[in-house]
Amino acid sequence: MADKNNIALSVRDVHVQFGDHVVLHDLDLDVYAGEILGFVGGSGTGKSVLMRAVLGLNQRQKGQIKFFGHDIDAADNDTRLAIDMRMGVLFQHGALFSSLTVAENIEVPMHEYLSMPKSLMRELALLKMELVGLKRSDAHKMPSELSGGMIKRAAFARALALDPSIVFLDEPTSGLDPIGAAEFDALIAKLRDTLGLTVYMVTHDLDSLFSVTDRIAVLGQKKVIAVGDLEYMLAQDDPWIQSYFKGERARTIPAFDKAQRKMQSNNSQLASQ
């Protein structure tokens, strides 16, 4: 699914500091088109800062950010607009507009960017709701009437409103119960497969990391210290990565055993060769 020759998002030498406090220093990262990249890091290491810098919500002191090969600083207005239309963001707490209904929330980006009849907009909004597993009867509910899982789904539907190529998910499963979180993970994977999405997912949920991500990036010491699949992570010597992926909580997850067994068998094969 992931295409290594087609880089959806490329981040080079990004440096962000607030006052004297350096958060990110010369950070590099590539996200391939069509992959689900899980992004982890300890609290306060700057995961959110990086995401916000990529989205243009935080200023960066230097560095280059390219979407689909277009440098966002050098792009002309039309290209900037096209890039904006191809990005969707799911904020951690949903960030649904509380004075609008669910369907109206999904229509906000459409109103902004598209010229199409209102009836078609509503039809597409309902379709997006159905794609993320909401019901048509939820269309006229206000965000305050929704449960936590429904808020995440509605916010995801809004992120998908313009059929983006890349979506940024900030802790999509936080605050959901394990069943709801597993369903949401399955939804992310399903939509990636059907819509050809590229997914950049900041998460602390080990289940999500193990079940849906293609690659994992670890942020530490102000840069990305490791990028790779789960096996690669398990083979790392960095103490933080070791304790993150091999800690007590990780050990209870079946996918972990599978990956570890695979790694051990690989090692034994290597040894026997």
Partner 1 sequence: MTRSKSAILKKGSAISSLSDDEVRLPSFSENTEGGTHTIVLDGVWATHSVGTIDKKFKAIKLPKDADRFVIDCGDITMLDTAGAWMIARLKLRIQGAGTEVDVHNLGENNTILFDAVMHAVTNDESDVVKPAPFKFSGILPGIGKLSYAFVADFLSAMNLLGAAVRGSQMKSGQGRRMSLAPVANQIDKMGVGAIPIIVLMSVIMGAIIAQQGAFQLRYFGAEIFVVDLVGILVLREIGVILTAIMIAGRSGSAITAEIGSMKMREEVDALKVIGLNPIGVLILPRLIALVISLPLLTFVANMAALGGAMIVAQTYSGISPDAFLARVREAVDLTSFFAGVIKAPFMAIIIGIIASVEGMKVGGSAESLGRRVTSSVVKSIFVVIVVDGLFAIFFAAVNF
Nearer to partner 1, 152 or 223 (CB): 152
**Dist. CA 35–CA 15, nearest whole Å:** 25
Binding partner 1 by CB under 8 A: which of 108, 142, 225, 250? 142
The answer to whether 185 and 207 are in contact (CB under 8 A) is: yes
Tokens describing residue 170: 């900030």
Residue 5 in the binding site for partner 1 (CB under 8 A): no
Footprint of partner 1 on 63-82 (CB under 8 A) = 67-70, 78-79, 81-82
First to last CA, the chain: 31
Tokens describing residue 85: 């239309």
Residue 126 in the binding site for partner 1 (CB under 8 A): yes
Nearer to partner 1, 73 or 163 (CB): 163
31-to-40, 65, 214, 235, 243 alpha-carbon distances in Å: 14, 11, 11, 21, 25
Name the one range near partner 1 by CB under 8 A: 55-63, 124-132, 240-248, 253-261: 124-132
166-to-23, 122, 245 alpha-carbon distances in Å: 25, 23, 27
* Residue 65: CB minimum distance to partner 1, A: 14
Residue 93 in the binding site for partner 1 (CB under 8 A): no
Binding interface with partner 1 (CB under 8 A): 67-70, 78-79, 81-83, 85-86, 98-99, 110, 113-117, 119-120, 123-124, 126-128, 130-131, 135-137, 139-140, 142-144, 160, 162-163, 190, 193-196
